[in-house]
Chain A
Amino acid sequence: MSEPSQTYSVQQEAAPASPRRGWRERALIELRKAPLTAWFGMTVILCYLVVALFAPWIAPHGQAEVFATPYAPWGGKFLLGTDQIGRDVLSRLIYGARNTIGIALATTFLAFLIGGGLGLMAAISRGWVDQVLSRIVDVLMAIPSLIFALMLLSIFGSSAASLIVIIAVLDSTRVFRLTRAVAMNVVVMEYVEAARLRGERLGWVMRREILPNIMPPLVAEFGLRFCFVFLTIAALSFLGVGIQPPTADWGSMVRENAALIQFAQYDLKAGLTPLLPAAAIALLTVAVNFVVDWFLMKTSGLRDEF
């Protein structure tokens, strides 16, 4: 007969306490439960990022390399044919991912930096700072953003830098409103009061006390803002006042190859060429929307009726 154990341990008696999961483990569990649409969205975004990052190694030709045959048909040396002055469409599509997504991401980050920073400042300091900033934003938002962007581009000229700054400033108005609205709810909390009473500086309160608590709506807004910025830049490039040639980007590619659509009766593939970059834009937008939807559902716990 074995001697009964003299030591007593809760661990043996009750079920073993479940270990505290790290964020990586939790993320994996969430991912496994993600719906199909979210998986689709994430896969598409990942593919786009890989293509954008490794464009020079994936693309068969350079983005501005001109070959002897303009409007070459699909197949052979040029998988998707060539454009109006003989550049490989596939290579330009791949480089276009890099340029278009890169500029859109930079713009969105800048917009969040400006809008988010000012929104937090307005929420914390209230009073006249809040009033002045809010009224300025009201006026800026009264002008349709595409029209405003067109007007500013006509003054500062179309370059990548002015494009990024102009659209970022115009879009930061919406970020400002959202940040201010959600931060207002957090600013009145006791722990913010405590931090301010013990003499923390404005930047510290913004970064350490408020920002972590308003992250979820901001992250979701980042996805939606990115889509909006991406579509605006594509539209401006399509209109010929956005990203300038010879830099490959999807908006201007649609415009340059638009004439090919007239030949769809004779060669359907040629007719599809101008639609490819447009489809690339649409696919990325749909993918980001799917992921944002899933994220919103996860963080807010309620289904968005839209």
Chain B
Amino acid sequence: MHPIIRTILQRLGLGLLTLFLVSIVIFSAVEFLPGDFTEAILGQAATKETVAAFRHELGLDQPAHIRYFDWIGSVLQGDFGTSFSGRSASGVDRSREVVELIAPRLMNTLFLAGMTAIIAVPLALFLGVTAALYRNSLYDRIVNAGTLSTISMPEFFVAYILILLLSTIFPVFPSLANIAADTPLIERVYASALPSLTLTLVIVAHMMRMTRAAIINLLASPYIEMARLKGLSGRRVILHHALPNAWAPIVNVIAFNLAYLVVGVVVVEVVFVYPGIGQLMVDAVTSRDIPVVQACALIFAATYILLNLLADIISIVTNPRLLHPR
């Protein structure tokens, strides 16, 4: 077998194993709930029968490992169970399916993250590479100082500064990202301009600094100096000699920051009241709606793991040393 394929298969197996273990961790979170939480959800007036029926529905009368396989089995079929909210003491069940709650919001979040990534990734790469090329110039220093200050600020600080400047003092963009399923694309982009700008500022700073460091590291290596001394043009050195080795660190940087986006999205969605999955999770945490929290955590964790896995695989595939084994 080609060594690359073997390495990739190893990574895939490792990623799946991690995902499996993470799902166990997320599942067993329920085990730590205080014993009387069924009554807390159903209300004090709940009859014994209602509580018993609810416990039976949750499967609390079965051992944990059976419940885990039930849960993970239905999750794999796209069924995350039913939400805790909407239950009542009389046994009337107005609760909704978790999937119903999550699906439209997940689309919104993916839209926001995608829009941010489309703007942020090329911008960060451009800034990072140019800052590395013109190292220690005025341009480099300005870009560095700007990104250093955005890194140190909490996301909500950046968000509120943007609201203050671009929404109240100069009313250009709306401060509330009010979008629905049937909002046309142009309006959608306009409404999510500020949340996406906030996320862009935060992740461009990280990405740009890491890209710059990766390229500077590389440009200092002897084989680049050799290529320069041979008299190759600057562009040829960068494109043919530096870039093939730079792909791995750059892809890692991008994936790391897209994974960071997954987390940053939570705070930003709350600031702009953007109807996404992050806000749903925060609401569910406040009302202690465990099935929704579990589903959101699983989605976030899976995205995070998959992005990191993808980065691993891309950096293996683009590694010249592995591509041409001796």
- A265 to B164 CA separation, bound complex (whole angstroms): 9
**9 tightest A-B contacts by CB?**
A278-B157, A154-B285, A264-B168, A282-B153, A285-B152, A286-B152, A147-B300, A139-B21, A143-B301
Nearest Cβ in chain B — how far from A303, in angstroms? 11
Given the contacts A154-B290, A231-B154, A261-B160, A142 and B29 also touching, CB distance less than 8 Å = no
Contact A151 B294 (CB under 8 A): yes
Contact A143 B33 (CB under 8 A): no
Q: Enumerate A95-124 residues with CB–CB distance to B below 8 Å.
A: none
- When C-beta atoms are compared, the residue in chain A nearest to B155 turns out to be A235
Q: Which residues of A contact B301 (CB under 8 A)?
A: 142-144, 147
Contact B29 A254 (CB under 8 A): no
B8: Cβ under 8 A from any A Cβ: no
Q: Enumerate B131-170 residues with CB–CB distance to A below 8 Å.
A: 148-149, 152-157, 160-161, 163-164, 168-169
Q: Enumerate A201-255 residues with CB–CB distance to B below 8 Å.
A: 227, 231, 234-235, 238-241, 251, 254
Nearest Cβ in chain B — how far from A128, in angstroms? 18
- A279 to B168 CA separation, bound complex (whole angstroms): 19
A80: Cβ under 8 A from any B Cβ: no
- A306 to B131 CA separation, bound complex (whole angstroms): 12
Contact B267 A286 (CB under 8 A): no
Contact B305 A261 (CB under 8 A): no
A305: Cβ under 8 A from any B Cβ: yes
Q: Which residue from B18, B30, B282, B285 sits with its C-beta under 8 Å from A139?
A: B18
Nearest Cβ in chain B — how far from A197, in angstroms? 38
Contact A143 B149 (CB under 8 A): no
Contact with A along B264-307 (1 / 0, CB 8 A): 00110011000000000110111011100110110011001100
- A41 to B154 CA separation, bound complex (whole angstroms): 18
Q: Which residues of A contact B25 (CB under 8 A)?
A: 139-140, 143
Q: Which residues of B contact A147 (CB under 8 A)?
A: 262-263, 266, 281, 296-297, 300-301
Contact B282 A241 (CB under 8 A): yes
Contact B156 A278 (CB under 8 A): yes
A53: Cβ under 8 A from any B Cβ: no
- A254 to B30 CA separation, bound complex (whole angstroms): 32
- When C-beta atoms are compared, the residue in chain B nearest to A156 turns out to be B32
**Which of B112-120, B180-188, B209-217, B236-244 is found at the contact surface with chain A?**
B209-217
- A151 to B27 CA separation, bound complex (whole angstroms): 11
Contact B270 A239 (CB under 8 A): yes
* Interface band, chain B: 35 or more
Contact A144 B263 (CB under 8 A): yes
A/B interface sample: 29 pairs, CB < 8 A: A140-B25, A142-B18, A142-B305, A143-B300, A144-B259, A145-B263, A150-B285, A150-B293, A151-B29, A151-B293, A155-B32, A155-B33, A234-B154, A239-B285, A241-B286, A254-B157, A254-B160, A258-B271, A261-B160, A261-B175, A262-B168, A262-B175, A263-B168, A271-B169, A278-B160, A281-B157, A282-B154, A285-B153, A286-B149
Q: Which residues of A contact B314 (CB under 8 A)?
A: none
Q: Which residue from B32, B163, B209, B216 sits with its C-beta under 8 Å from A261?
A: B163
Q: Which residues of B contact A262 (CB under 8 A)?
A: 168, 175
Q: Which residues of B contact A157 (CB under 8 A)?
A: 288
- A261 to B19 CA separation, bound complex (whole angstroms): 42
Q: Which residues of B contact A144 (CB under 8 A)?
A: 259, 262-263, 300-301, 304
Q: Which residues of A contact B46 (CB under 8 A)?
A: none
- A261 to B175 CA separation, bound complex (whole angstroms): 10
B interface residues (Cβ-Cβ under 8 A, vs A)? 18-19, 21-22, 25-26, 29-30, 32-33, 148-149, 152-157, 160-161, 163-164, 168-169, 175, 209-210, 212-213, 216-217, 259, 262-263, 266-267, 270-271, 281-282, 284-286, 288-290, 293-294, 296-297, 300-301, 304-305, 308
Given the contacts A235-B267, A282-B157, A143 and B29 also touching, CB distance less than 8 Å = no
Q: Which residues of A contact B164 (CB under 8 A)?
A: 261, 264, 271-272, 275
- A153 to B285 CA separation, bound complex (whole angstroms): 7
- A152 to B30 CA separation, bound complex (whole angstroms): 10
Q: Which residues of A contact B153 (CB under 8 A)?
A: 278, 281-282, 285
Q: Which residues of B contact A145 (CB under 8 A)?
A: 263
A165: Cβ under 8 A from any B Cβ: no
Contact B297 A151 (CB under 8 A): yes
Besides A146-B263, A154-B290, 5 more A-B contacts (Cβ < 8 Å) are: A147-B301, A238-B267, A261-B163, A264-B168, A279-B157
Nearest Cβ in chain A — how far from B265, in angstroms? 10
Given the contacts A151-B29, A152-B29, A305 and B217 also touching, CB distance less than 8 Å = yes
- A212 to B322 CA separation, bound complex (whole angstroms): 41
Q: Which residues of A contact B22 (CB under 8 A)?
A: 139, 142-143
Contact with B along A132-175 (1 / 0, CB 8 A): 00000011101111111011111111000000000000000000
- When C-beta atoms are compared, the residue in chain B nearest to A283 turns out to be B152
Contact with B along A28-66 (1 / 0, CB 8 A): 000000000000000000000000000000000000000
Q: Which residues of A contact B289 (CB under 8 A)?
A: 154
Contact B216 A275 (CB under 8 A): no
Contact A155 B282 (CB under 8 A): no
Q: Which residue from A238, A265, A305 sits with its C-beta under 8 Å from B216?
A: A305
Q: Which residues of A contact B271 (CB under 8 A)?
A: 258
Nearest Cβ in chain B — how far from A154, in angstroms? 4
Q: Which residues of B contact A271 (CB under 8 A)?
A: 164, 168-169
Q: Which residues of B contact A268 (CB under 8 A)?
A: 169
- When C-beta atoms are compared, the residue in chain B nearest to A146 turns out to be B263
- When C-beta atoms are compared, the residue in chain A nearest to B290 turns out to be A154
- A133 to B296 CA separation, bound complex (whole angstroms): 27
Given the contacts A147-B297, A281-B157, A306-B209, A240 and B286 also touching, CB distance less than 8 Å = yes
Contact B282 A150 (CB under 8 A): yes
Nearest Cβ in chain A — how far from B306, in angstroms? 11
Q: Which residues of A contact B296 (CB under 8 A)?
A: 147
